[in-house]
């Protein structure tokens, strides 16, 4: 098998470079060729808009993604392929890191290939790899943290804990969820061991690095009244209203892990981490996966929040399958026909491989409607804007931040002014100018304007189509009743929005 002896005397297999790198390359190539198939995702447009107003934080997230979007777009303006290249590379890298976790757990070539293959056909990880999004980079960073911890357990090389601090410093600027990871993992280490981890000085040196990396965005949050806490409540409400509530958390989590292969190996992997004598030293990671699932379920989080724990569970399952420790009922999943069927199920729903004309009809990517039609939205709003009585004194305000971001990107060439929105973090990006006494409002429900304007009348509708923003109502609000300094704070909405 080509084993070698590790520093602590533990023998580990060589990395199965050829098949693992081949799978990573295949995932990268698939993502690359589908990068420009449709258009920008709604959140990507928001990152671009936020990137024009760089700050140490935003009401709905830390600063990393707006900064990254700004830099990549400046490198190749308007190129979706280049814009999504960091996400493509991150997802391909995740395939390799997943295999490295299996190797650290004692897995040979087969276990590494099974783990890498499961990562490659995970609906959540493959699908989000198509976007420049927090949900793309956060699971990768958690996966790297799991690898560092698993490797530390095997080698006791404390320098790994410093690197864990560096990765955490990056992760906390992508999404604050990594704080939940360390809280739950720390409790599980206290309960299940290895408790010596918590006594390592370099662990706390790494914690200082992470704290230093988090300090600027934490200061921003404090200076702005901790909007992230409000955002957590808004997401919980959104989960209940839009995503089926807590009852859909576990089904969504399993579906995101991957239809057939990913879901089965996730469940089996958690079981093996908790029960296997061979994996006893890593029990804390199985408990952490269960604990994080319980925390996010109880707090109304989204089902993909646990995706960063998938790889270590898949690796534990694959190592057990390779060793023949699994019962016959589990072994059927580790065969190439099952992987092939899983890929055929996942890919059409995770990536834009079907024609645009199919959007709105199955099979099509679940979020495809949020990628198409944005230029048409801007064109419809531009036509309506040219018909308002006094365009020079009319601001464009949207009920949902995606609409504002789309108008910011596609409306400027059509002569539209800078758009504004009270939705999510967009509220912080700017206040309408003092001279704007009227508002062209984009959103089906103009209730947010009630009481602030003398009259609110219909102003048309965005052209119908399968895209997210198409068919939305337009309203003209005239005669602003007070200064924007008094009106604008009342229009702030961290919830689902009125789009």
Output the pLDDT for position 9. Answer: 42
- As a whole-number percent, the residues of the chain with pLDDT over 70 amount to 95
pLDDT tier at 361, thresholds 50, 70, 90:
low
Per-residue DSSP letter, 350: H
Q: How far apart are CA 181 and CA 197, in angstroms?
A: 16
Task: DSSP for 430-490, please give it.
Answer: ----TT--EEEEESS-GGGGTTTEEEEEEEEEPPP-SSTTTT-EEEEEEEE-S-HHHHGGG
Sign, CA torsion 104/109/112/116: positive
Closest CA to 90 of 38, 149, 156, 167: 167
Q: How confident is the model at residue 326 (pLDDT cuts 50, 70, 90)?
A: low
pLDDT value at position 123? 94
What does the pLDDT read at residue 327?
A: 65
Q: What is the pLDDT of residues 380-403, one digit of tens each?
A: 999 999 999 999 999 999 999 999
- 233-258: per-residue pLDDT in tens? 888 888 888 778 889 999 999 999 99
Residue 365's pLDDT band (cuts 50, 70, 90): low
Q: Are 72 and 83 in contact (CB under 8 A)?
A: yes
d(CA 147, CA 100) in angstroms, rounded, equals 7
Average pLDDT, the chain: 92
Per residue in 67-120, pLDDT tens?
Answer: 999 999 999 999 999 999 999 999 999 999 999 999 999 999 999 999 999 999
Q: Report the alpha-carbon distance of residue 189 to residue 176 in Å, rounded.
A: 21
CA distance 48 to 77: 11
pLDDT at res. 325: 72
Phi and psi, residue 223, nearest 5°? -70, -20
- Which pLDDT does position 360 carry in this prediction? 65
For residue 6, the model assigns a pLDDT of: 42
SS3 state at 5? strand
Indicate the pLDDT class of residue 470, thresholds 50, 70 and 90: confident
Rounded Cα gap, residues 215 and 210, in angstroms: 9
Q: Would the CA dihedral through 273, 96, 134, 404 be positive or negative?
A: negative
Q: Is the pLDDT of residue 29 over 50?
A: yes
d(CA 419, CA 432): 8
Section 279-306 average pLDDT: 96
pLDDT score at 280: 95
């Amino acid at each position: 098998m080509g084993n070698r002896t590790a520093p602590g005397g533990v023998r580990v297999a060589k990395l199965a470079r050829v098949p693992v790198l081949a799978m990573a390359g295949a995932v990268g190539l698939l993502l690359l060729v589908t990068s420009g198939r449709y258009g920008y995702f709604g959140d990507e447009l928001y990152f671009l808009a936020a990137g024009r107003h760089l700050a140490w934080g935003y009401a709905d997230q830390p600063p990393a993604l707006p900064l990254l979007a700004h830099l990549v777009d400046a490198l190749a303006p308007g190129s979706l392929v280049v814009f999504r290249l960091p996400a493509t590379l991150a997802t391909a890298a995740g395939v390799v890191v997943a295999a490295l976790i299996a190797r650290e757990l004692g897995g040979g070539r087969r276990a590494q290939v099974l783990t890498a293959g499961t990562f490659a056909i995970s609906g959540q990880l493959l699908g989000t790899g198509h976007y420049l999004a927090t949900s793309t980079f956060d699971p990768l960073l958690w996966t790297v943290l799991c690898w560092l911890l698993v490797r530390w357990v095997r080698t006791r090389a404390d320098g790994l804990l410093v690197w864990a601090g560096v990765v955490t410093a990056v992760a906390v600027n992508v999404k604050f969820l990594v704080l939940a990871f360390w809280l739950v993992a720390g409790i599980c280490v206290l309960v299940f061991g290895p408790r010596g981890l918590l006594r390592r000085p370099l662990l706390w040196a790494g914690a200082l690095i992470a704290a230093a990396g988090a300090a600027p965005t934490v200061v921003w949050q404090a200076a702005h009244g901790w909007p992230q806490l409000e955002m957590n409540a808004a997401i919980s409400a959104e989960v209940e209203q839009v995503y089926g509530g807590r009852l859909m958390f576990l089904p969504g989590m399993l579906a995101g892990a991957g239809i057939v292969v990913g879901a089965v190996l996730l469940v089996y992997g958690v079981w093996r981490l908790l029960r296997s004598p061979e994996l006893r030293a890593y029990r804390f990671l199985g408990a952490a996966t269960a604990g994080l699932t319980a925390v996010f379920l109880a707090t109304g989080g989204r089902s993909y929040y646990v995706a960063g724990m998938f790889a270590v569970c898949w690796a534990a399952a694959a190592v057990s399958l390779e060793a023949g420790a699994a019962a016959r009922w589990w072994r059927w999943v580790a065969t190439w026909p099952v992987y092939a069927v899983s890929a055929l199920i996942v890919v059409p729903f995770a990536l834009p491989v079907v024609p645009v004309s199919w959007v709105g009809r199955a099979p099509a990517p679940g979020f495809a409607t949020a990628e198409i039609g944005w230029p048409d939205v801007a064109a419809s709003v531009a036509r309506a804007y040219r018909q308002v009585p006094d365009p020079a004194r009319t601001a464009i305000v949207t009920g949902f931040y995606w609409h504002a971001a789309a108008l910011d990107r596609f409306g400027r060439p059509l002569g539209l002014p800078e758009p504004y929105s009270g939705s999510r973090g967009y509220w912080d990006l700017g206040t309408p100018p003092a001279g704007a006494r009227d508002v062209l409002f984009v959103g089906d429900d103009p209730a947010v304007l009630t009481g602030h304007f003398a009259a609110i009348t219909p102003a048309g509708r965005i052209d119908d189509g399968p895209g997210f923003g198409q068919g939305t109502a337009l309203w003209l609000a005239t005669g602003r009743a007070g200064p924007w300094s008094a009106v604008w704070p009342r229009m702030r909405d961290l919830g689902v929005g009125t789009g």
